[in-house]
Amino acid sequence: MKNMKAYFRLLIFSLLIPLFTPVKAQQKPELSGYKSIEAKLERWTKYCNDLVDANNYPLLIIAAKQGTGLCSHTNNYQKMSQFAYFTGYGYEYSNNQYEQAIIYYEQANAYALKAHSLKDEVNALMRLNYMYYSVRKFSKRDTLIQYIKAIVDTTKDVYSQAILNGSIGEYYLDLSQYERFISYKLKAIDYRKNAFG
């Protein structure tokens, strides 16, 4: 009986430890030590990625908007695209604020096009595909998919091919066109294998 009590105390104590252990907060970086705006933007991008990894979406929204502010006196459209994407991502995963997310994903896509950054464009297109479906903007989604179909074979980048084919596959799944869904998903899988080994 004595051993059982000790066992239960140990069990309860081990279950309570995580409740009282402080969670490592993502530290806001101090940018004054960075000499160039490019170095500051790179550091701030890493900070936003860390917030994504930590699932800290409310703080991600704030940080991404600050990142956009850092870009205000530059023509760095790629970074503007990335910070708009982070903002949209934060809204999407912070209480499903899809309408707000769409605004920022559309901005991210527009900046990616100006920057000629296919990877950033592809990321924005993938999220927009989900968002338009989620808020029932089907005509916008149809137009988006037609655009994706037009560009999918124009790139040799296997990461982009995987994402774009996967997005088209999801579109057909939502339309219950299973053969097309499977066809595009198999293409996406093949490209992912090539992209990630």
pLDDT digits (tens, 9 = 90+) for 95-115: 999 999 999 999 999 999 999
| pLDDT value of residue 73 | 87
| pLDDT value of residue 13 | 46
By the 8 A CB rule, do 164 and 123 touch? Answer: no
Q: Return phi, psi of residue 85, to 5°.
A: -60, -50
21 pLDDT above the threshold of 80? no
194 pLDDT band, cuts 50/70/90, is confident
146 pLDDT band, cuts 50/70/90, is very high
pLDDT tens digits, one per residue of 70-89: 999 899 999 999 999 999 99
18 pLDDT band, cuts 50/70/90, is very low
| pLDDT value of residue 1 | 54
